[in-house]
Amino acid sequence: MQANGSIFIADNDVKTRDLVSAFLTYQGHSIVCPEQETPFFDTVKKYNIDLVIADIAHLQTIAPDFLEQSASINPLLVLIAYGSTSREDLIMTSSENVFTLSKPLNLDELESLVMRAREYQTMRLLDTSAAADDQHQALSLTMVGKSAPMRDLFDLITKVAASNATVLIQGESGTGKELAARAIHQLSSRNGKNFIPVNCAAIPDDLLESELFGHVKGSFTGAYANRAGRFEMADKGTLFLDEIGDMKANLQVKLLRVLQNREFEPVGASKSQKVDVRIVAATNKNLEELVAKRDFREDLYYRLSVIPITIPPLRERQEDIPLLIHAFLARFNSDKRNALKGFSREAMELLCSYEWPGNVRELENLVERLVILKGSGFITPEDLPEKYLSGRAPARNTADELQAGMPLPEGGICINSAVDEFENRLIMQALNRTGGNKKEAALLLNLKRTTLIEKLKKKNLAFGEE
Ligand SMILES: Nc1ncnc2c1ncn2[C@@H]1O[C@H](COP(=O)(O)OP(=O)(O)OP(=O)(O)O)[C@@H](O)[C@H]1O
Ligand SMILES: [Mg+2]
């Protein structure tokens, strides 16, 4: 993650400003308070501000030219705006670096937008650093990821694309094997020619040979005319042999021959045909195991896996999950005005700790479904299907644990919920000690009384009447 800049809170309502400031400071962000006399953009430059959280009316007073100026001052600057929705505001909300919130502020939603802003900045940063390198550009347009395994994968794809070598892509279902195959083609010198996919599992065995190699008229019942096969269509381009692990033994032999000699015979033809194709194969089966069981030819396996690429399952690259969620959110939102704004922290944590057996495809489908069904506002755990909720933290621990100093459990802990829980217990202890007097409890906690009240509201911690 890049080091983030500071957050500028622009609101002339001191109560709101303090509440937001305290909340975000507590979350570990660096906050800058406005300097009355200094022009807005001078403060932005001076304190390396890359996120402005503002009451829209106030921002229009202190920086009426915000949208025109911000990009030239800091292209990564993001605005989270709240307040009224005048015509000017609506113009603002159509910018991709502006997120909006309604008032009264919901701190959970604010936090979710701060997270989205950070993700947006990371994506922009990845795009800009990749743009310096033309080879990386096409990749960053299609494949989202910033985790170490994905960065290694991007490097490998870029290198492999420059060669003509046969590639074997392995990985669980939905990890992005086809996307990687397409990226290899796009980044190669063959990109002006065809990328031809063949799903070896979807085509019936008796048709696959003719599908791959074509046939001549009259070679079998129903062959009324000569027909080109996928190899011929992919000439000078790339042939993507998907689900190669499902190919039957007799065709494996024929494929091996093409890989060795770069020539093939259409079904029923007496002469062979030369072809110049780059082969990329993929499977979600373990080919080595199939070879050991003699279900897949060993010689073909070695011919295919000149360059083996393995795409890791999503559960092994958790840090890509929020990035993917926001990328899909932006994609599925793109043609809607009142679109889904983001995910509450708890919902995002649940999705990050989920196993994702269907990998990126499952995640993509979930976001699409949520955009359609919910359509606006923020996704909370209540909006998620049951199976995503299993990682939910247990309700609460005993007070003794707090005194014992909260040991780290064997299986690890969700730090955000733990900190939240810790905070709840300190607040409840302070209120108990002061007999429910919020002013005194706030003093004990070194908080403003209003901040404490807001916290209680946000956390749904009921404690006496206001
Ligand atoms: N890194 C990624 N960034 C953005 N979208 C991705 C990424 N990885 C996968 N996807 C999307 O997830 C879906 C599944 O990807 P793809 O079809 O490439 O997976 P696959 O490994 O071929 O799956 P299967 O084994 O089921 O055929 C596609 O819609 C693809 O666009
Ligand atoms: Mg696939």
Per-residue tokens: 38: 């200094």
Give the mutation target among 200, 363, 364 for probing the ligand 1 site: most ligand atoms within 8 A of CB.
364
Nearest CA owner, ligand 1 atom 16: 176
Nearest CA owner, ligand 1 atom 23: 174
Cα of 286 from ligand 2 centre, angstroms: 15
Which of 180, 443, 409, 174 lies closest to 315 in space, CA to CA?
174
CATH number attached to the domain at 135-312 = 3.40.50.300
Q: Which of 75-79, 102-106, 151-155, 351-355 has the lowest mean pLDDT?
A: 102-106
Q: Closest ligand to 178 CA?
A: 1
Q: Which atom of ligand 1 is nearest to the CA of 284?
A: 25
Cα of 359 from ligand 1 centre, angstroms: 8
Residue 338 confidence (pLDDT): 53
Q: Closest ligand to 150 CA?
A: 1
User: Which H/E stretch holds residue 77?
Assistant: none
Per-residue tokens: 108: 């959970």
- Choose the most confident range, by mean pLDDT, from 72-81, 211-220, 247-256: 247-256
Q: Which atom of ligand 1 is nearest to the CA of 327?
A: 4
Cα of 330 from ligand 1 centre, angstroms: 17
Nearest CA owner, ligand 1 atom 15: 176
Q: Closest ligand to 154 CA?
A: 1
Per-residue tokens: 186: 């796009």
Give the mutation target among 123, 139, 147, 175 for probing the ligand 1 site: most ligand atoms within 8 A of CB.
175
Cα of 226 from ligand 1 centre, angstroms: 35
Distance, C-alpha 37 to centroid of its chain: 41
Per-residue tokens: 399: 């007070």
Per-residue tokens: 346: 């708890």
Residue 416 confidence (pLDDT): 74
Cα of 378 from ligand 1 centre, angstroms: 25
Cα of 243 from ligand 2 centre, angstroms: 7
Residue 389 confidence (pLDDT): 92
Cα of 165 from ligand 1 centre, angstroms: 23
Find residue 197's DSSP bridge partners: 240
Nearest CA owner, ligand 1 atom 5: 143
CATH number attached to the domain at 399-458 = 1.10.10
> Phi and psi for 133 in degrees, rounded to 5?
-120, 105
Helix, strand and coil in the chain, % to nearest 5: 50, 15, 35
Q: Which atom of ligand 1 is nearest to the CA of 320?
A: 1
Find residue 10's DSSP bridge partners: 54
pLDDT at 298 over 90: yes
CA–CA–CA angle 235, 238, 242 (5° rounding):
125
Chain segment 216-229, per-residue pLDDT in tens: 888 788 778 888 89
pTM as predicted: 0.71
CA–CA–CA angle 299, 300, 306 (5° rounding):
95
Residue 465 confidence (pLDDT): 43
Given a contact cutoff of 8 angstroms between Cβ atoms, the answer to whether 55 and 16 are in contact is yes
Cα of 153 from ligand 2 centre, angstroms: 17
Q: Which atom of ligand 1 is nearest to the CA of 150?
A: 1
Domain residue ranges in the chain: 1-132, 135-312, 399-458
pLDDT at 86 over 70: no
Q: Closest ligand to 283 CA?
A: 1
Given a contact cutoff of 8 angstroms between Cβ atoms, the answer to whether 251 and 212 are in contact is yes
- Provide residues with CB under 6 Å of ligand 1: 143-145, 171, 173-179, 284, 360-361, 364
Q: Which of 130-139, 343-352, 363-372 has the lowest mean pLDDT?
A: 130-139
Residue 464 confidence (pLDDT): 47
Given a contact cutoff of 8 angstroms between Cβ atoms, the answer to whether 323 and 122 are in contact is yes
Chain segment 361-416, per-residue pLDDT in tens: 999 999 999 988 888 888 999 999 999 998 765 544 444 444 444 556 556 666 77
Cα of 161 from ligand 2 centre, angstroms: 19
**DSSP structural state of residue 312:** P
Q: What is the DSSP string of 416-453?
A: HHHHHHHHHHHHHHHHHHTTT-HHHHHHHTT--HHHHH
pLDDT at 204 over 90: no
Question: Can you identify the CATH homologous superfamily of domain 1-132?
Answer: Response regulator (3.40.50.2300)
98 to each of 14, 74, 267, 354, how far by Cα in Å? 23, 14, 59, 30
135-312 matches 1-132 in CATH topology? yes
Cα of 311 from ligand 1 centre, angstroms: 10
Give the mutation target among 123, 153, 157, 178 for probing the ligand 1 site: most ligand atoms within 8 A of CB.
178
